[in-house]
């Protein structure tokens, strides 16, 4: 009889864990030595990203940190670029489209990566409704993570 009482809570726990939060946000923000140097960033256009208003929202968030932005198409990178941002993003669909993966990588003029910020939804996000947050919320979180939120 004792074993039967343990089966229901155990099964409930296993089933609920399958529907738990399955997204992750992580950042390796830029070093504080670079904060004062970043006045402008060149963004390499990524034509593979088809998310509505993604690049526009990304630019607006960077500009809110008082950073000037210039967008270019590879391989035609302007000579004036001290910092270059590469991005990638994809979306999934479950009654609505939502960003499921996003990566921002910031490089200095020597081509060394100086910052990384990512957002990933794993296994479709389960029942976690935060996956449906607006794209602007997710982009803000990832940009601020890259910049370490110290510039506001």
Q: Is residue 133 part of a domain?
A: yes
CA separation for the pair 87, 55 (Å, rounded): 9
Which domain, by its residues, includes 130? 23-147
Indicate if the pLDDT at residue 3 is higher than 70: no
Domain membership of residue 4 (yes or no) is no
pLDDT tens digits, one per residue of 21-63: 455 667 788 888 887 899 999 999 999 999 999 999 999 999 9
Structural domain contains residue 51: yes
pTM of the full structure: 0.78
Domain assignment of residue 11, yes or no: no
pLDDT at 77: 92
User: Which tens digits make up the pLDDT trace of 110-143?
Assistant: 999 999 999 887 655 445 555 567 788 899 999 9
Quick: pLDDT tens for 72-115. 998 899 999 999 999 999 988 776 787 889 999 999 999 999 99
d(CA 35, CA 50): 30
User: Looking at residue 30, what DSSP letter applies?
Assistant: P
The CATH number of residue 76's host domain is 3.30.160
Q: Token pair for residue 5? A: 């009482």
Q: For the chain, how many structural domains are there in total? A: 1
Q: CA-to-CA distance for 84 and 114, rounded, in angstroms?
A: 10
Has residue 59 been placed in a domain? Answer: yes
pLDDT score of 16: 44
Q: Is residue 7 part of a domain?
A: no
């Amino acid at each position: 009889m004792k074993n039967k009482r343990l089966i229901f809570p155990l099964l409930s726990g296993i089933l609920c864990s399958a529907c738990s939060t399955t997204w992750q946000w992580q950042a390796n923000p830029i070093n504080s030595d670079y904060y004062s140097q970043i006045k402008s960033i060149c963004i390499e256009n990524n034509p593979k990203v088809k998310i509505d208003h993604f690049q526009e929202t990304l630019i607006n968030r960077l500009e809110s940190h008082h950073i000037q932005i210039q967008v270019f198409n590879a391989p035609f990178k302007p000579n004036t670029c001290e910092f270059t941002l590469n991005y990638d993003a994809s979306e999934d669909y479950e009654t609505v489209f939502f960003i499921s993966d996003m990566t921002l990588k910031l490089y200095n003029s020597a081509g060394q990566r100086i910052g990384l910020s990512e957002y990933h939804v794993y296994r479709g996000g389960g029942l976690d409704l935060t996956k449906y947050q607006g794209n602007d919320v997710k982009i803000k979180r990832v940009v601020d993570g890259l910049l370490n939120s110290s510039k506001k």
